[in-house]
Structure 1
Amino acid sequence: MNTGTAVDFTLLGQDLLLLPQKAIYWKQEKALIAADVHLGKVGHFRKAGIAIPRDMEQNDLAVLSDLIYQHQPEKIIFLGDFFHSDMNTDWDWFILWRSQFPKLEIILIRGNHDIIADRHYLKLNIQLHHELLVGPFLMLHHPQTDADLQQAAGYVFCGHIHPGVRLVGKGRQQITLPCFAFAAKQVVLPSFGKFTGKVAIRSNKTDRIFAVLQDKVLAID
Structure 2
Amino acid sequence: MVAGEVFKIKEATLRLLPQKAVLVPDDRVLLIADLHLGKANHFRRSGIAVPHAVNDRNMELLVELINTHRPERVVFLGDLFHSAYNEGWEAMGQVARHFSGIQFQLVRGNHDIMSKLQYERCGLQVAEQLKMGPFLLTHEPLEVVPGGYYNLAGHLHPGVRLTSKGKQSITLPCFFFGEDGAVLPAFGAFTGYVRLKVSRRDHVFVIADKQIMKINGG
Same fold (TM over 0.5): yes
Helix, strand or coil for the counterpart of 2:109?
Answer: coil
AA paired with 1:12? K
Within the candidate set 173, 189, 194, 1:178 is matched to 173
Question: Does 2:22 align with 1:27?
Answer: no
Q: Is the 8 A contact 1:43 1:90 kept in 2?
A: no
AA paired with 2:136? L
Q: CA deviation at 1:90?
A: 2.7
Q: Is the 8 A contact 1:136 1:154 kept in 2?
A: yes
Alignment: residue pair count = 216
Q: CA deviation at 1:152?
A: 5.0
Matches within 5 A, 1:32-47: 32-47=30-45
Helix, strand or coil for the counterpart of 1:77?
Answer: strand
Structure-1 separation of matches of 2:191 and 2:141: 18
CA deviations on 1:70-110 (whole Å, 9 max, x unpaired) are 11100011110110110022322222222221111011000
Structure-1 separation of matches of 2:46 and 2:115: 22
Within the candidate set 150, 154, 165, 1:155 is matched to 150
> 1:111 corresponds to which residue?
109
Q: Is the 8 A contact 1:142 1:159 kept in 2?
A: yes
> 1:211 corresponds to which residue?
206
Within the candidate set 68, 71, 95, 2:69 is matched to 71
Q: Is the 8 A contact 2:18 2:207 kept in 1?
A: yes
Q: Cα RMSD between the aligned structures? A: 1.5
CA deviations on 1:148-195 (whole Å, 9 max, x unpaired) are 13x356100001110001111010111110000000110000000010
Gaps of 5+ in 1: none
Q: Is the 8 A contact 1:133 1:153 kept in 2?
A: no
Q: Is the 8 A contact 1:157 1:187 kept in 2?
A: yes
Within the candidate set 57, 82, 87, 1:89 is matched to 87
Helix, strand or coil for the counterpart of 2:36?
Answer: coil
> 1:131 corresponds to which residue?
129
Q: Is the 8 A contact 2:89 2:122 kept in 1?
A: no
Q: CA deviation at 1:21?
A: 0.3
Q: CA deviation at 1:51?
A: 1.4
Structure-2 separation of matches of 1:21 and 1:4: 12
Q: CA deviation at 1:121?
A: 1.2
Q: CA deviation at 1:23?
A: 0.3
Helix, strand or coil for the counterpart of 1:220?
Answer: strand
> 1:164 corresponds to which residue?
159
Within the candidate set 186, 195, 200, 1:200 is matched to 195
AA paired with 2:30? L
Helix, strand or coil for the counterpart of 1:16?
Answer: strand
Q: TM-score, normalised to structure 2's length?
A: 0.94
Helix, strand or coil for the counterpart of 1:166?
Answer: strand
Q: Is the 8 A contact 1:179 1:189 kept in 2?
A: yes
Q: Is the 8 A contact 2:96 2:104 kept in 1?
A: no
